[in-house]
Amino acid sequence: MAGTVAAGGNGYLQLKGAKELARGLKKAGADLKDLRKVNKDAAQIVVPEAKNLAPHQSGRLAASVRAGATQKAGVVRVGSKRVPYAGVINYGWPGHNIRPTRFANTAAKNTEPQWTQLYADAVQKIIDRITTGDTSK
């Protein structure tokens, strides 16, 4: 089972107020794909740290860490068909005495200043577009 993980363990990085931001993007003449790119860029900031913090027995777990995004969230995915144990390694499995490592959560937390700054910069650009009426990209 592949897992999606992030700071706080709530499954993904999500920009609060994404609906309002999307509305503002549209008003500023920007494409919603702009927000998807920022979300992916934010997730890509977390990936190297998650790969570094992942337990390295065979290296497959670290190799399975990748960034993804939607218009509403940056996503750090861990696991694949070849690495079905990713969620168990990160979150643990008490019934089998497997303790959580929370490596992906820790990676998101460790890189939080970088990806939150990325969002702050993107939001400021959108605000600037809206306030100046500049609809060019």
Q: Which domain holds residue 92?
A: 3-132
Reported in sequence order, the residue ranges of 87-126 that DSSP labels E, i.e. its strands, are none
Q: At what angle do helices 112-132 and 18-27 cross, to 10 degrees?
A: 40
Q: Is residue 137 included in any domain, yes or no? A: no
Helix, strand, coil content of the chain in percent (nearest 5):
55, 10, 30
Q: What is the token pair recorded at 79? A: 């696991």
Handedness of CA 36, 41, 46, 48 (dihedral sign): positive
Q: Is residue 38 included in any domain, yes or no? A: yes
Global confidence as pTM: 0.75
Q: Is residue 118 included in any domain, yes or no? A: yes
8: pLDDT strictly greater than 60: no
Residue carrying structure tokens 């990209």: 137
pLDDT digits (tens, 9 = 90+) for 93-122: 999 999 999 999 999 999 999 999 998 998
Q: Length of the chain, please?
A: 137
Strands 13-14 and 66-69, how do they pair? unpaired
Q: Which of 27, 11, 128, 121 is nearest to 2 (CA)?
A: 11
pLDDT digits (tens, 9 = 90+) for 41-59: 999 999 999 999 999 999 9
pLDDT digits (tens, 9 = 90+) for 92-101: 999 999 999 9
Number of domains making up the chain: 1
Q: Which helix (H) or strand (E) holds 67?
A: strand 66-69
What integer pLDDT is reported at residue 30 of this predicted model? 59
